[in-house]
Amino acid sequence: MKQVEIARSLLGVRWIHQGRDPAVGIDCAGLLLIAYGSQHDLADYPRHPHAGQLERQLERHFGPPVTDGPRVGDAVAMSYGEKGVIRHCGIVGDYIHGGLSLIHTDSILGCVTEHPLDDFWLARVRQVYR
């Protein structure tokens, strides 16, 4: 999948909230926009989106979420903490050691990263877009 290849080419790029330029830094939405070649921006969202802000913008770009599990090339919307509130997104890849991976920006690591889409991350996936 081309979007997975593009996302992988950005591994190590610095994380910056609302970043859209890999030379400067990108955030999770910026990663999706670049990887999927979107001409529209996901903009004007706070550091911690709430009240469906991120979901509405993702749905505008990808259409309604699918009901089956993630596949290689899908975009996923994830929650952290606050009772299922979606605040993060990433791209599903094919992991080098088998299974699926998650390619996303990690504000703690400070960059684009990839790791197994294991039970820890799967438990945070709330919506899948194809």
CATH fold for domain 2-129: endopeptidase fold (from Nostoc punctiforme) (3.90.1720)
Per-residue pLDDT 10s for the chain (130 aa) are 899 999 999 999 999 988 989 999 999 999 999 999 875 555 555 555 556 778 888 898 899 999 999 999 999 999 977 677 888 999 999 999 999 999 999 999 999 999 999 999 999 999 999 9
Q: Give the domain ranges of the chain.
A: 2-129
The model's pTM: 0.89
Task: Catalogue the long-range contacts made by 90-97 (C-beta closer than 8 Å, 24 or more residues apart).
Answer: 90/28, 90/31, 90/32, 91/3, 91/4, 91/7, 91/31, 91/32, 91/35, 92/4, 92/117, 93/4, 93/7, 93/8, 94/4
